[in-house]
Amino acid sequence: MTDVHLDWAQFALLLIDMQCDFWTERMAETFPQFPANVARLLEFCRAEGIEVIHLRASFRPDMSDWMVRYKLRGPIPCIAGTPGVETLPCARDKPGEIVMIKRTFDGFQDPELLRHLRQRGKRFVLTAGLVTSTCVLFTTVSAAQNGLMTAVIEDCCADEPLAHNQTLDRYAFVFERTTLDHLCDCHSRWSSDLQRLAGTRPKA
């Protein structure tokens, strides 16, 4: 991190599924620094003026909003009204921060997310949360396919260890990888890339 003020106006953080049902004992053993890292990430974003958008899963007990495969499978995480849907203490939203409920792996299935980002002039999304190989991956890939630059903050994500590492390695052609302590180091290059992309837009 740095004391130099950087311009993060075009950036947003998507913090994904930071909920009790997704944070398993095995993840806690394998990624012991994850909660503290997420808390630091939020502190950094709030201090730097990076908009934080919380994406959270929530499903009705009657299965009316479940994806069809899960209607056949049975139990599903994050049923409304259960302890598992609750937000982990390290990731609670603050007043004024947007919370969007998602009912699929991909947060962009709700068109309001992309609409909001475009209205706010966001062109680069940072993603973090649970779990790396599922909702973090699907949401990040969708952001890229919707014309946004993307970077996964890998030490602010968690999953089964093999799935975590394979996902980050396999999809490097879709998104960038960074860590919490290297965000500021990446800023200059990312800003330069955004400027270059702006220059490729057709004139009105």
Section 38-67 average pLDDT: 97
Farthest CA pair distance, the chain: 54
Classify strands 51-57 and 98-102 as parallel, antiparallel or unpaired.
parallel
> What is the pTM assigned to this prediction?
0.94
Alpha carbons 89 and 199: distance in angstroms, whole number: 42
Q: Label residues 160-169 b or e (16+ Cβ within 10 Å = b).
A: eeeebeebbe
Helix (H) or strand (E) holding 145: helix 137-145
What CATH architecture applies to the domain 11-199? 3-Layer(aba) Sandwich (3.40)
161-179 pLDDT per residue, tens = 999 999 999 999 999 999 9
pLDDT in tens, 23-50: 999 999 999 999 999 999 999 999 999 9
pLDDT at position 201, please?
A: 58
Predicted local confidence at residue 1, as pLDDT: 52
Q: What is the pLDDT of residue 199?
A: 81
| Residue 79, pLDDT score | 97
Residue spans of the domains in the chain: they are: 11-199
What's the CA gap between 131 and 172, in Å, rounded? 17
- CA dist., res. 170 & res. 12, Å (int): 24
User: Using one digit for the tens of pLDDT, what is the confidence trace for 74-96?
Assistant: 889 999 999 999 999 999 999 99
- pLDDT tens per residue, range 92-138: 999 999 999 999 999 999 999 999 999 999 999 999 999 999 999 99
